């Protein structure tokens, strides 16, 4: 499938309208609100990415960069593919585009995601997707106060000198720092 990769750095209502359905379909509860996403982009701490096929958004992601200088890490906060295209390589294509963008723009040293740590088939499929794409699952299970399901951190190291901590707690320092800034008002 021939697709175009778009990165949106400032809130754009038209682009959001084109990707919103995929976002809400993939994350029906617990996802950041439109107001929080808008604030993240307008404050320069988050990005929206779209995979577009024949003028239609078929995949989307929300990302942010954390860390300083040579210690920059990309957080993929959300990655979603149109339900009709799941299992056809669109998610992997989108991940590769995001990785190339982040390495070119920020010289990141790794990518971190947090995956639900549940035992449902959906949870297992998501973890399998990330593992298949080179991410390392850590053992630490993190429980947020306001979210019912537990999470585990996963990391895709980039570059030869990056080690993924076995316990994952160190990765949640990056994730929590990103969330703290994302939820901060203006």
Q: How many CB atoms lie within 10 A of CB 27?
A: 14
The structure's pTM equals 0.90
What are the phi and psi torsion angles at 87 (to 5°)?
Answer: 85, 5
- pLDDT at position 86 is 87
Q: At residue 81, does pLDDT exceed 90?
A: yes
Residue 23 has a pLDDT of: 94
CA distances from 23 to 18, 31, 84, 161 (A): 10, 8, 14, 34
Q: DSSP class of residue 1?
A: -
Q: In this predicted model, what pLDDT tens digit does every residue of 132-174 receive, in sequence order?
A: 999 988 887 777 777 667 788 888 988 765 666 666 777 878 8
Could you tell me if 47 and 78 are in contact, meaning their C-beta atoms sit under 8 angstroms apart? no
Average pLDDT value for residue range 31-42: 92
Q: What is the C-alpha R_g of the chain? A: 16
Residue with the two structure tokens 């979210």: 147
pLDDT in tens, 2-25: 999 999 999 999 999 999 999 999
Q: What is the pLDDT of residue 164?
A: 61
pLDDT, greater one: 28 or 100: 100
Residue 185 has pLDDT above 90, yes or no: no
């Amino acid at each position: 499938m021939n697709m175009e990769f778009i990165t949106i750095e400032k809130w754009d209502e038209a682009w959001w309208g084109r990707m919103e359905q995929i976002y809400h379909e993939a994350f029906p509860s617990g996802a950041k609100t439109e107001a929080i996403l808008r604030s993240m982009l307008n404050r320069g701490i988050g990005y929206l990415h779209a995979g577009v096929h024949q003028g239609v958004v078929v995949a989307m992601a929300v990302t942010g960069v954390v860390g300083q200088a040579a210690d920059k890490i990309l957080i993929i906060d959300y990655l979603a593919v149109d339900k009709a295209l799941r299992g056809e390589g669109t998610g992997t294509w989108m991940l590769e585009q995001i990785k190339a963008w982040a390495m070119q723009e920020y010289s990141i040293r790794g990518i971190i995601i947090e995956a639900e740590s549940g035992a449902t088939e959906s949870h297992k499929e998501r973890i399998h997707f990330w593992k298949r794409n080179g991410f390392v699952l850590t053992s630490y299970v993190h429980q947020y106060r306001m979210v019912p399901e537990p999470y585990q951190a996963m990391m895709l190291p980039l570059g030869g000198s990056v080690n993924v901590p076995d316990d994952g707690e160190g990765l949640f320092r990056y994730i929590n720092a990103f969330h703290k800034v994302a939820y901060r008002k203006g």
